[in-house]
Amino acid sequence: MMSSTIFSVFPITSPPFFSVMMQQFSPNDVCHEMLRRSFLLVLCLGMISLQAQSTSGEKILLNGNIYTLNPQRPVAEAVAIRGDRIVAVGDLSSVRRNVGKHASMIDLHGKYLLPGLVDSHNHAIKGGVRLLTADADDELLSFDELANFAHEAVQTGKGVRGGGLYITGIHSAQWTNVIILDSLFNNAPYTKKPVLLLGTDGHTAWSNAALLRLAGITNEFVHSLPNDQRTYYGQRDESQLNGLLSEQAIQKARRALPPSPVTPYQGALSGVRHLNSLGITAWLDPAAGHIDDGLQNEALTAYAQLANDELLTAHVATTVVADANGSTTPQFKMLNELQRKYNGKHVDVLGLKIFADGVLEYPTQTAALSLPYSNSGSFGSLMVDPGHLNAFVSAADRDGILIHIHAIGDRAVSASLDAIGAARNQNKNSNLPHSITHLQLVAPGDYNRFAELNVLPCMQLLWATADRYTIELVKPYIDAALFMGQYPAKSLLKAGATLCGASDWPVSSANPFAAISIAESRKGGMGVLNARETVSRIEMIKAYTINAAKLLLMDKKIGSIEPGKQADFVLVDRDVLAVDENLIKHTQIIWTMFGGKIVFNAKDE
Ligand SMILES: [Zn+2]
């Protein structure tokens, strides 16, 4: 690990602050003893309640190991803050000179302080809603487990939508055995009850016969569709549907059921709390509604209301889903209106998200590949015409609109890079850091283009492992060389790219340390996935702090512990730059601070 010299654990002697603070008082002072006692009392109260504020709003964080992520000063002894800002970072005596006598002390008890973590692709509202509703959390369930889960979802009401049952977070391998789903949900007590199971990937689902009927999804309907859309409806044979749905077909089934009883506001609140508990204080919500939703954007409304109620304890940057095949003018106009309406304290509408393709896993296989899927001969589906994509991205870039592109297959990644390349060519001077997310397959010839074109790779490296997804649902169906190149994190780093960490929660866990652990080992339940692509600890910590802050256009404000930046920190229980590979994933958050205030404290949980 390149960090071993720079970031070696530096010893800090036991609490020096008391003796330092006491030097403020003259030993001749008759009230010395009284002062000492009251000072101790104040000190104790300050320690008991981390939120206790000095009247000046000044605090010194000390007696811990502080990793700043500022290459000029990677470690520090103390940090001073005033209100929501960092005012000094360095050794304790110099830090003390930047604040008044009455600054309160926050003892880090020898633990490890990092900048607040940044997740560059996180659907916080959807995740928050899932915490409050029936969600299988990406567990592959047996027939009995699924039956029990469904029964409970009905009993508790967590899965009830009108007369139907609605379950999210289904593991993709669940789709490989439709017979089980059939025997469970097309028999009593579900023969008349509409049931929708949604894949954790957001691109797949399964509907029982009652819901297909309700949604008007019949064999005749499917056969009336153009070829490309027909593939979104799974068929048992020419005359029968099997209930599997992907992409737009999911929307059609979903619309037949009433909307979630959990409001976006409740979802956002639950999402923010969950992410704060993981040390996360900023994220990009890449799909904060669709541009067609117009000015009544539910996700942005929820974030803005939360900010208004002073409950948005994080920076939320957003992109809104757009249609790159569609006309730019009305979509850009709407984006500008959304920016005027919603940009405010802690909320920023940065630009637009585009889907270049779908997912790689069997049976959906909508990711666009350079070599065909071996089972079908298909090259997957590029969801946007390359000519349109180039024109769309060039126009957006010219107008200062940030673009975030979903691309999983190597053909979709190439097309996305081509589009950003076209924008760079046409507009010459733009340095807007557009990003491509997921990047499961990247053509080796494209590695260099990320740095060259200033495109940020936004990767969910929790997925970069040998598990049922990669080994059972991908490996048998794609070219062996493509398979070996999955999630090329190290190759991109070597080619000079600025790697950004992301979770895609609630597609999978939002815990950054779980992803960091996999990125470092690539080890999963079914072995190691291409050990050549492992990424060092420090590179991953950078990916989840200063690098991700760049993607959010916030690196001047957050992402490192430096004077002038916002006082967002996470205190963790272990040396995340040095602990053994097997221990990093168990990292515990002691507390999280946002804008100088503790917003999560493990002691209170
Ligand atoms: Zn996503």
Ligand 1: distance of its center to the CA of 286 in Å? Answer: 7
35's tokens: 């002062």
Cα(460) to centroid of ligand 1, in Å? Answer: 10
Phi and psi (nearest 5°) for 405? -115, 130
Q: Mind listing the pLDDT tens digit for each residue in 78-113?
A: 999 999 999 999 999 999 999 999 999 999 999 999
User: Do 286 and 349 touch, CB atoms closer than 8 A?
Assistant: no
CA 122 to ligand 1 center in whole angstroms: 7
CB under 8 Å to 71, separation ≥6 — which residues?
none
pLDDT band, very low/low/confident/very high, at 16 (cuts 50, 70, 90): very low
Res 8 pLDDT > 50: no
Average of pLDDT values for 558-582?
97
**Distance in Å, CA 199 to ligand 1 centroid:** 13
* Confidence band, pLDDT 50/70/90 cuts, at residue 137: confident
Q: What is the structure's pLDDT at 20? A: 32
CB 294 within 8 A of CB 336: no
Q: d(Cα 600, Cα 580) in Å, to the nearest integer?
A: 26
pLDDT at position 45 over 50: no
Backbone angles phi and psi of 394, in degrees to 5: -60, -45
- Percent of the chain scoring above 90 in pLDDT: 84
Q: How far is the CA of 240 from the centre of ligand 1 (A)?
A: 32
Instruction: Choose the weakest-confidence range: 7-11, 219-223, 359-363.
Output: 7-11
Residue 2 CA to ligand 1 center (angstroms) comes to 31
Examine the pLDDT at 41 and tell me if it is beyond 90: no
> Are residues 467 and 525 in contact, defined by beta-carbon separation less than 8 angstroms?
yes
Q: How many helices (H) and strands (E) does the chain have?
A: 23, 24
Ligand 1: distance of its center to the CA of 202 in Å? Answer: 8
Mean pLDDT of 11-35: 34
Q: Which helix (H) or strand (E) holds 473?
A: helix 473-473
Distances (CA, A) of 444 to 141, 361, 441, 448: 37, 21, 9, 8
State pLDDT tens for residues 258-299.
998 899 999 999 999 999 999 999 999 999 999 999 999 999
Strands 195-199 vs 204-207: parallel, antiparallel or unpaired? antiparallel
Instruction: Measure Cα distances from 157 to 136, 149, 150, 165, 186 in Å.
Output: 15, 12, 10, 9, 20
Taking 50 as the threshold, does the pLDDT of residue 201 lie above it? yes
Asked if residue 452 has pLDDT above 50, the reply is yes
**Ligand 1 center–CA 155 separation, angstroms:** 30
Q: Is the dihedral of CA 73, 74, 78, 81 positive or negative?
A: positive
Task: Quote the ligand 1 centre to 503 CA distance (angstroms).
Answer: 8
Q: What confidence score (pLDDT) does residue 176 get?
A: 86
- Rounded CA separation 521/535 (Å): 8
Residue 44: pLDDT band (50, 70, 90) is: very low
Q: Token pair of 134, please? A: 């029936």
What's the confidence (pLDDT) of residue 3?
33
Q: What would the pLDDT profile of 232-268 be if each residue is shown by its tens digit?
A: 999 988 889 999 999 899 999 999 999 988 999 999 9
Per residue in 467-498, pLDDT (tens digit) is: 999 999 999 999 999 999 999 999 999 999 99
pLDDT of residue 369: 98
Rounded-to-5 percentages of helix, strand, coil across the chain: 40, 20, 40
Alpha helix ranges (H) inside 288-385: 298-308, 328-342
Rounded to the nearest whole angstrom, what is the distance from the C-alpha of residue 178 to the centroid of ligand 1? 25
519 C-alpha to ligand 1 centroid (Å): 19
Q: Which of 109, 90, 108, 111 is nearest to 99 (CA)?
A: 90
> Which token pair is 223?
């056969």
Residue 153, pLDDT score: 96
CA distance 364 to 239: 20
Strands (E), 116-179: 117-119, 160-161, 164-170
Query: Using the 8-state DSSP alphabet, how is residue 585 labeled?
Result: G
How many A from CA of 160 to the centre of ligand 1?
25
Residue 156, classed as helix, strand or coil, is: helix
Task: Look at 542 and 172; give whichever has higher pLDDT.
Answer: 542
At 49 the pLDDT is 39
Out of 25-29, 331-335, 541-545, which region has the weakest mean confidence (pLDDT)?
25-29
State the distance from the centre of ligand 1 to the C-alpha of 274, rounded, in angstroms. Answer: 17
pLDDT of residue 55: 57
State the pLDDT confidence band at 212, using cuts at 50, 70 and 90. Answer: very high
| The pLDDT value given to residue 19 | 34
Q: What is the pLDDT of residue 227?
A: 87
Is residue 347 within 8 Å of 307, Cβ to Cβ?
Answer: yes
Is pLDDT above 70 for 32? no
Q: Which of 507, 573, 572, 582 is nearest to 544 (CA)?
A: 572
The per-residue pLDDT for 30 is 32
- What are the pLDDT digits (tens) for 361-392? 998 899 999 999 999 999 999 999 999 999 99
Closest C-alpha to 84, from 602, 604, 589, 558 = 558
**Integer Cα distance of 383 and 159 in angstroms:** 32
pLDDT at 97: 96
C-alpha 397 – ligand 1 centre gap (Å): 22
Q: What is the pLDDT of residue 13?
A: 32
What spacing in Å lies between the alpha carbon of 507 and ligand 1's midpoint? 7
Mean confidence (pLDDT) of the chain: 90
* Cα 157 to averaged position of ligand 1 atoms, centre (Å): 27
- What is the Å distance from ligand 1's center to 525 Cα? 24
Give long-range contacts, CB 8 A cutoff, 24+ apart: 342-346: 342/297, 342/300, 342/301, 342/303, 342/304, 344/304, 344/307, 345/307, 345/312, 346/303, 346/307, 346/312, 346/314, 346/315, 346/316
If you measure from the C-alpha of residue 532 to the centroid of ligand 1, how many angstroms do you get, rounded to a whole number?
26
Cβ–Cβ under 8 Å, residues 305 and 318: no
The answer to whether the beta carbons of residues 592 and 276 sit under 8 Å apart is yes
pLDDT band at 36 (very low <50, low <70, confident <90, very high): very low
Give the CA radius of gyration of the chain.
Answer: 26
What pLDDT digit, counting tens, does each position of 392-451 carry? 999 999 999 999 999 999 999 999 999 999 999 999 977 899 999 999 999 999 999 999
